[in-house]
Amino acid sequence: MTRIETRLDHMATKEDVSKLESTLLRWFIVTAVSLTALAFTAAKLIH
């Protein structure tokens, strides 16, 4: 039983997973917007 309890201390909780998901989603959206702006800027300079 001690081994199981020790192992569970290192596992992620639902709250941890939820925080990670929201952080990753924010990073994805910001990266997508930045890359889109960069692409439009590059296209504008080339044209």
Residue 8 has pLDDT above 70, yes or no: no
The C-alpha atoms of residue 16 and residue 28 are separated, in whole angstroms, by: 18
Tally of domains within the chain = 1
Amino acid 10: pLDDT? 75
Please indicate, yes or no, if residue 5 is contained in any of the structural domains: no
Question: What does pTM read for this prediction?
Answer: 0.67
Mean pLDDT value across residues 18-42: 97
Structure tokens at 29: 């959206």
Residue range of the domain that includes 33 = 13-46
The C-alpha atoms of residue 18 and residue 16 are separated, in whole angstroms, by: 5
The C-alpha atoms of residue 14 and residue 36 are separated, in whole angstroms, by: 33
Residue 26 has pLDDT above 90, yes or no: yes
Residue 32 has pLDDT above 90, yes or no: yes
DSSP state of 11: S
Mean pLDDT value across residues 6-29: 88
Please indicate, yes or no, if residue 22 is contained in any of the structural domains: yes
Structure tokens at 1: 């039983």
